[in-house]
Structure 1
């Protein structure tokens, strides 16, 4: 059969495309498609929150190659919900509908996700999964309703732009279980940070707390990705990478009082952070039956109270959202009913507990070079080369005058290794290599041509070009 000219051109173009290198966009798409989900990580850790409340289940999903993730809360029947949206950059799905305040329960699930705007796919994915599994249908009185919000966890937090997608969201929904919530760098909080306003750039995560007062149950969940710093009840900063010029024993009030100088060269010697895309997304759940207006006021009360635990809070660079849910399982007589003011006060304290529990252990940074390990020139030369972390980030290592030097050559810097000039990568007695500075930059090589930067919960893996 005779082939048309168009067909021939199509074959030729397809052959050409097959041998061309992937563009950054196509390369990132290929990375996304090859990801393997990790479900319910951290559920068996000592720090996980455990509580008795079968009215809802919680599932988390993570892509460790990010790392990034999401958290799904699924209620076992439709519940009444309200929302309070603050800050200058919220990213949400279906919050305007909750804001209307209809007096009947409609909400099925809440989703928190990383991945910035791209993570909103996870919210709609959970809702379609409710229909696909037959739990919800299409009749007007049986349509599923899922709401959700995202945090920004790109940029300097990691060296790629992997995001929580539909596949991960639906897997987390299926994996959801009652009564357990992992705290720290899990789920949607996998690559969260806090304190960027002062250059703290501390690792953060998701936190949760539970309290029972008589038959009243209260749970609070939050993902702290705030511009402000997490602050404990004694006024101490819970997590921060301070500049070496900062005074010993500083408190949150000290750096707040020093604004704007505390974020500029002079007072601290540190320029304001360039990455001001931050969000704290939260959920409170109570079992007492409440009216829509009560639930709305509860959301406002608790959301406002969070400014004690995150300072400053709800800035123009934060996209803070708080959802409030009543499962209506507990409907006490008037003489036993706990009033809205008391519930709001108790829940505010529970939320502060949740905020503090979001802070994971921080990797150590070294301002000064640690003791140097002697490495012969041949071993150093074997490490030299270009390492690829993603379509956006590569690291060039070379040997000069017996020293190993590193320089970022992709679109972004590689943590403490800049693009503008090469810096020394120092071999240490532990076998790792470090770049001294305010923030951790640790390099660990393996025998197969791999390089891991900052081994641990926030590690990034690269491969030397030319190796398989």
Structure 2
């Protein structure tokens, strides 16, 4: 176990980003099509192919997922991932036609100091292709890929991942791009809201504060009273090796959303576009009631850990006025 999404066999992750633009793309690829669905809780989401992921829609499985910065302009990233998969002959087959199925979601990182004067076309399609081409079993955390330009209310955001197993040996992994309007830390201290779920000091081992002051519990919002819709968003991908139907994948995504509530304060706001994709590679059968409930519980805890790891691993952007990274202040 690497404590990464790729602890699920048959899943690979790749990043591509442009440091001058301060934005990027992360591609999640499945060696074989994975049953998948989605749950959206934020008030300002930006998604691609989300209707296809509804349980009543026809296509059952997907070939990849694209996560990007760039707000709505970043939705082009999925086209780049799709182009790479098409070159491999991967996709949904309709007679002689092959169509790679690549849902996607974006976060807003257009005001982080990077140079967004990219000309006629934004770079996300090419970055999506490069991210897919770079997909591997190991991948970096922090200010990379779709997390390069991410921020939170008080510290630099980033990309995190974590994994766990149920008591029955079913594996679940999570990957999170943390660009929340709220805070992942308790107040401005070293404590992370996800501390009760931490494993092996994976994000510093600071635990929670001995007591909570009113200041710790006040709302810290990115932009303060000037915060506007769609400037934020946390993107999460949960993958398991369980055998799930599409409705069960939807339920897993819904339960996993509670991990955001354990790691971000506040969350699911009108100012966020919080999204959870859930996918299953179909290797291990589970009991449909208790088994799925247990899997969702473990997935939610894993999502919380992935969010905390994203902030813990992030590095500050090299621009005047950029938010500090957690590790710049607390090591």
2:244 to 269, 287, 290: 290
* Residues 354 and 60 of structure 1: CA distance in aligned 2, closer, same or farther (over 3 Å): same
Q: Which residue of 2 aligns with 1:218?
A: 172
1:309 to 245, 257, 263: 263
Q: Distance in 1 between matches of 2:57 and 2:92?
A: 21
Q: Which residue of 2 aligns with 1:321?
A: 275
- Per-residue CA deviations over 1:341-371 (Å, capped at 9, x if unaligned) read 111111111111101100146779xxxxxxx
Q: Distance in 2 between matches of 1:173 and 1:439?
A: 29
TM-score (norm: length of structure 1) = 0.57
Q: Distance in 2 between matches of 1:192 and 1:97?
A: 27
Consecutive unaligned residues of structure 1, counting only runs of 5 or more, are: 1-46, 240-248, 264-269, 365-388, 390-413, 417-437, 441-453, 458-468
Q: Distance in 1 between matches of 2:109 and 2:73?
A: 11
1:125 to 80, 83, 88: 80
Contact 1:70 1:164 in 2 (8 A): no
- Per-residue CA deviations over 1:122-156 (Å, capped at 9, x if unaligned) read 11221233223323376258532100101111114
* Residues 439 and 79 of structure 1: CA distance in aligned 2, closer, same or farther (over 3 Å): closer
Q: Kindly report structure 1 stretches of 4+ aligned residues shifted beyond 6 Å.
A: 249-253
Q: Which residue of 2 aligns with 1:461?
A: none
Secondary structure at 1:358's aligned position in 2? Answer: helix
2:234 to 272, 275, 280: 280
Q: Which residue of 2 aligns with 1:186?
A: 144
Contact 2:91 2:101 in 1 (8 A): no
Contact 1:125 1:169 in 2 (8 A): yes
* Residues 271 and 113 of structure 1: CA distance in aligned 2, closer, same or farther (over 3 Å): closer
2:60 to 105, 109, 133: 105
- Per-residue CA deviations over 1:94-124 (Å, capped at 9, x if unaligned) read 0011014458632100010011111111112
Q: Which residue of 1 aligns with 2:105?
A: 149
**Deviation of 1:256 (Å):** 6.5
Structure showing greater relative contact order (alpha-carbon pairs closer than 8 Å, 6 or more residues apart): 2
Taking only aligned residues, the RMSD between alpha carbons, in angstroms, comes to 3.5
* Residues 172 and 206 of structure 1: CA distance in aligned 2, closer, same or farther (over 3 Å): same
* Residues 256 and 297 of structure 1: CA distance in aligned 2, closer, same or farther (over 3 Å): farther
- The aligned length equals 301
The answer as to 2:308 corresponding to 1:353 is no
Q: Distance in 1 between matches of 2:132 and 2:15?
A: 8
Of residues 301-310 and 97-106 in structure 1, the stretch that sits farther from structure 2 once superposed is 97-106
Q: Distance in 2 between matches of 1:285 and 1:50?
A: 7
* Residues 53 and 227 of structure 1: CA distance in aligned 2, closer, same or farther (over 3 Å): same
Q: Which residue of 2 aligns with 1:444?
A: none
TM-score (norm: length of structure 2) = 0.79
* Residues 103 and 273 of structure 1: CA distance in aligned 2, closer, same or farther (over 3 Å): same
The answer as to 2:214 corresponding to 1:254 is yes
Of residues 204-213 and 49-58 in structure 1, the stretch that sits farther from structure 2 once superposed is 49-58
Q: Distance in 2 between matches of 1:131 and 1:169?
A: 13
* Residues 153 and 204 of structure 1: CA distance in aligned 2, closer, same or farther (over 3 Å): same
**Deviation of 1:191 (Å):** 1.0
Contact 1:113 1:164 in 2 (8 A): no
The answer as to 2:49 corresponding to 1:94 is yes
Secondary structure at 2:27's aligned position in 1? Answer: strand
Contact 1:87 1:316 in 2 (8 A): yes
Contact 2:146 2:177 in 1 (8 A): yes
The answer as to 2:8 corresponding to 1:53 is yes
Q: Distance in 2 between matches of 1:137 and 1:271?
A: 45
Alignment of 1:27-106 (within 5 A): 49=4, 52-102=7-57, 105-106=60-61
* Residues 251 and 86 of structure 1: CA distance in aligned 2, closer, same or farther (over 3 Å): farther
Q: Distance in 2 between matches of 1:72 and 1:342?
A: 28
The answer as to 2:132 corresponding to 1:173 is yes
Q: Greater CA radius of gyration, 1 or 2?
A: 1
Q: Distance in 2 between matches of 1:190 and 1:78?
A: 28
Q: Distance in 1 between matches of 2:50 and 2:5?
A: 28
Q: Distance in 2 between matches of 1:83 and 1:71?
A: 18
